Structure 1
């Protein structure tokens, strides 16, 4: 029997639910993780054939480890999946489940629980965990005296409420009577620096608590099967720039670029709703500002964390220079001896901290609070550079081995100095001579409906319209039967109506049925998309009642909240619901996957 036949026969012998479970486990894993699982499976099969590993009996909830994850960008899922695979390899009975698929009634029966969850924007849970978080924090949550738990929070310390959801859940489980398997973990954007040792500790505690002393099995390394996809977050693809053009008028007041990148030869595939991760370089002018301000030599070699590079390389490629964070504020306050600055980090000063984080870049803080800094101290104080995610603005069915992005270039004057965005400036300045380090970040929560007869409502002001360009292209290519309704807003009709010609063509050819526009600076009163939502309340509610899917993309701190509030008003005015019923109705749409948000 050849390998192909053997593989097909093996898959055919799996029951439907087992095959579905296998597919869910493999979803989102990279080649290295899949190779590891393949090696472990081969060793396990050999042990079973030799009779050295008896088939495990079904275990009750109390005899297993449940790993829950809530993930907006995929990081929490990645960490939870890795922990699950390791625990299973050590002989533990494990259930890995996304938060919105978790039966809430099971919580009272759990005895060993690990939660990996991110915090979005201003103390918001990821969309796939909203319902469960509300349940756990609410009055219906059961007492949990028999629960041993561990919580790993993922966040970004450039936001004032760093890892707020992880903290709330950790405290709430204790309040309900649970005891910790491991202390609360709080991971910043350099996720693995905290997540790796934390998961190691949580794994060991869970193994001891469940009475399993069996070590992780030794497996024979198998020769990897060539994979179509070899490029990931830590091994990006060097994508050639095919096109980079401004899509706003010269007097628009800001630059928005449409980029087309080549994925030829990469093996990378994507779906509408996914994102492109870009590893940026900080602008040379910004690096020069730092070197001049601190009177440091860019050629001075700095050794840090096992790496040795000139300071200019550290500041250009390896360190975050444009996002302020709590640890940076603490470091500058300590170096300068400024007690007033240190006081901003007190819990009762959250409003001052929020204002500071929103207003300043790191270099502004250094200017305001001068101190002597060595090159080594600077590199140690700054956070590692991290990739930026951009919603994909194309359908691969329409553009082939390309990927398109919509990028607002951050470049402004403040506090008497010029400021830049790291990734947007990097992308905005790219030419056809450049190759950009990119990877695909899947977003399984932001997908078009599988039933192409379903209607689609898209709300995307500004660059938030990017994924909806991909949606319309995809539905045109697949000849989808459902209707399409786009809400778009920006400042001026004449200068920043992004993709205007394409939307007009889509209206003519029928791939877009309705288009609502809101240009906030064209009249005496500012008009935003949420006002258009209220104006179209009757039809919008009718579409949703008939099964339409609703999508929102863009700013998380203001637009997304205002749109959510407007949708509640729609349910109240058109559905005769109370505000509480309307909130539950929207929560139900989120749980069903009919209300999806890609907000940042």
Structure 2
């Protein structure tokens, strides 16, 4: 039936609207509308008045993901998305290749339409999502309602295997099925249509209570109960060497699960790791001390074996003057006493050495096991800049850690934390961690403010967090990265990340300095000087400068270069340049995270 304008009490616009509405009404809706319009005028007005407060905005949402090798899954996904939109459902549709897997935590309803490729393999575009969902990084999904439509070919042994795998894994992660999975053969139209009708019926009966409850729970989360004294044991998800073969360095990219920690952090913050001493070093020290590893001592009001104390509680790798002065009470060795008598002699000896060297070089000593441990301080936590955005990776935190390794006095030495992470920590292991806030290294509140990020080696870690955060927020303001390391081929940390952000506009420009690729060593400060005019122009536009890395060399050289550029480009005296830089710091436009 189509309403005509001729002899109609409706104008053309009203006729158009009615003709759009009427074909979409069910029989029940038409009957109800007929009765409604037949009511007396007073009743109509009362009904409208009573009905108005009950009108609420549609809050049902659905995400439809597809994994397609030949296009069948995509075609069905688009068809079903249109059908749901026609029923006032807010639908998001995406291929598995473009959907960020970590966003599963943000959605409540999901339809997955996926084919199986070859002998049971996921389609190419679905491989990364498939691997993520089946990894230890996959989040708990108790909040999620889902259903899977699996496409396949029964002539293959592993018929619809990809869809079956997804369905089982979602259930294992706590998600609830809207309707059971349907497995479709090559002639899939009827089976797929029946699946969608069942989904449609069940889904439209669901209330938004689950979503509202979940949102309320997320918003009501308080601060984490974990701290430096009570660390969270985070599972290691990934531990990857970022340097290429032949590099002089070993830089580890560490991904940790923080699910359940209730951590809250921002780009610029750090993670503290409470490390343990190397078991082999502890054994060698106990042998040199001639102590029984099972001897009981009291450390921090806790009775434990001396082996446990030296491995898990006390610092044994750093020599300080106060420690050496305590040691002197237990020896009369003339050479040891000279270390404290002669100016700076103790510094020369302590450089690169540890307690094992002291015990081996200056025995005998008169201490007992308890006296020995009472001289030592607790192992301090190691802080590492966070290299990821919590907005982009809500249940993970990423770190960039350079392995400390050197040889002194004929013995190979490793950093307490970095050595353990590079040589002993594997995916599945746990690390005790906590969040260390750094309010003095923050992205500007105004997202239009230009930022200049300067760093070498692991000093780029917070900038990866900065740009991941800006990408997640859709910010494409002016952002300039100046990065340095030894060799382009082996030491270009996170190269693909920077290139992706350059292509998307999240990062507007980048300059690199690889110091060992040319006869004359080129560092980040040289790149800064090379682009002095642009640097000063950005400052005039209100840019914020960030410097992260080694305090004594890189950061000091960069600071001197910044002063020089301001003198030269701003035609200022050295005193005026110092005043200018001081003002930048006061305005939080010159922020440093140096160590």
**One fold, TM greater than 0.5?**
yes
Does residue 413 of the first structure (1) align with residue 411 of the second (2)?
no
Relative distance call for 1:340 and 1:582 in structure 2 (3 A) is farther
Structure 2 contact 476–506 (Cα < 8 Å) conserved: no
Aligned with 1:360 (options 339, 353, 356): 353
2:371 aligns with one of 352, 371, 377? 377
Count residues in correspondence.
374
> Is 1:245–1:258's contact at 8 Å kept on the other side of the alignment?
yes
Whole-angstrom distance in 2 between the partners of 1:366 and 1:457: 49
Of residues 518, 524, 527, the one that matches 2:519 is 524
Cα distance in 2 for residues equivalent to 1:314 and 1:536: 53
Where 2:400 maps in the other structure, the secondary structure is: strand
* Alignment partners' CA distance in 1, 2:494 and 2:574: 36
Shift of 1:514: 1.5
- How far does residue 247 in structure 1 lie from its aligned partner after superposition? 0.6
- 1:470 paired to 2:470: no
Cα gap change, 1:228/1:311 in structure 2, threshold over 3 Å: closer, same or farther? same
Paired residue for 1:426? 420
Aligned to 1:239: 234
What is the CA-CA distance between 1:343 and the residue it aligns to?
Answer: 5.8
What are the ranges of 5 or more consecutive residues in structure 2 without an aligned counterpart? 1-219
Matched, 1:553 2:543: no
Tell me if structure 1 keeps the 8 A contact 2:450–2:479: yes
Kindly provide the CA deviation profile for residues 100-136 of structure 1, in whole angstroms up to 9, marking residues without a partner as x: xxxxxxxxxxxxxxxxxxxxxxxxxxxxxxxxxxxxx
| Structure 1 unpaired stretches of 5+ | 1-224
Structure 1 distance, partners of 2:333, 2:562, is: 46
TM-score calculated relative to the size of structure 1: 0.60
Note closer, same or farther for the CA distance 1:233–1:592 as it changes in structure 2 (3 Å cut). Answer: same
State the partner residue of 1:193.
none
Q: Is the 8 A contact 1:329 1:342 kept in 2?
A: no
Q: Which residue of 2 aligns with 1:50?
A: none
**How far apart are residue 478 of structure 1 and its match?**
1.2
Deviation at 1:258, TM superposition (A): 0.3
Matches within 5 A, 1:386-397: 386-397=380-391
What is the match of residue 167 of structure 1? Answer: none
1:313–1:253 CA distance, 2 compared to 1 (3 A): same
Other-structure match for 1:452:
447
Q: 1:399 aligns with which of 377, 393, 397?
A: 393
Deviation track 1:80-116 (CA, whole Å, cap 9, x = no partner) reads xxxxxxxxxxxxxxxxxxxxxxxxxxxxxxxxxxxxx
Q: Secondary structure at the match of 2:391?
A: helix
* 1:520-572 deviation digits (Å, cap 9, x = unpaired): 21222222111111111111111112100010111112211111111111111
State the partner residue of 1:294.
Answer: 289
Tell me which residue corresponds to 1:318: 313
Q: RMSD of the alignment, in Å?
A: 2.0
1:307–1:507: structure 2 CA closer, same or farther, 3 Å change rule? same
CA contact (8 A) 2:223 2:264 kept: no
Once residues 597 and 345 of structure 1 are traced to their aligned partners in structure 2, the CA distance between those partners, rounded to angstroms, is: 36
Aligned equivalents of 2:503 and 2:254: distance in 1?
Answer: 25
Could you tell me which of 190, 206, 224 is aligned with 1:229?
Answer: 224
1:332 lines up with 2:327 in the alignment: yes
**1:565 has 2:560 as partner:** yes
Query: Structure 1 residues 416, 399: closer, same or farther in 2, change over 3 A?
Result: same
Contact 2:476 2:507 in 1 (8 A): no
Tell me: CA distance 1:588–1:385, structure 2 relative to 1, closer, same or farther (3 Å).
same
Offset of residue 450 of structure 1: 0.4
Larger gyration radius, structure 1 or structure 2:
2
Aligned counterpart, 1:441: 436
Structure 1 residue 305 displacement after superposition = 4.2
Q: TM-score, normalised by structure 2?
A: 0.60
Check 1:320–1:443 CA distance in 2 against 1; reply closer, same or farther (3 A cut). Answer: same
Q: In structure 2, do the counterparts of structure 1 residues 366 and 562 end up closer, same or farther at CA, with 3 Å as the change threshold?
A: farther
Asked if the contact 1:457/1:486 (under 8 Å) is kept, the reply is: yes
Within 5 Å, which residues of 2 pair with 1:261-276?
Answer: 261-276=256-271
Q: Deviations over 1:460-518 (max 9, x none)?
A: 10111100000111111112242111111111111111111111222111111111111
Q: Map 1:493-532; keep pairs closer than 5 Å.
A: 493-532=488-527
* 2: CA distance, partners of 1:234 / 1:278: 11
Provide closer, same or farther for how the CA distance between residues 455 and 415 of structure 1 changes in structure 2, counting only shifts above 3 A: same
Q: Is contact 2:226-2:232 (8 Å) kept?
A: yes
Higher relative contact order (CA 8 A, sep 6+): 1
Corresponding position of 2:576: 581
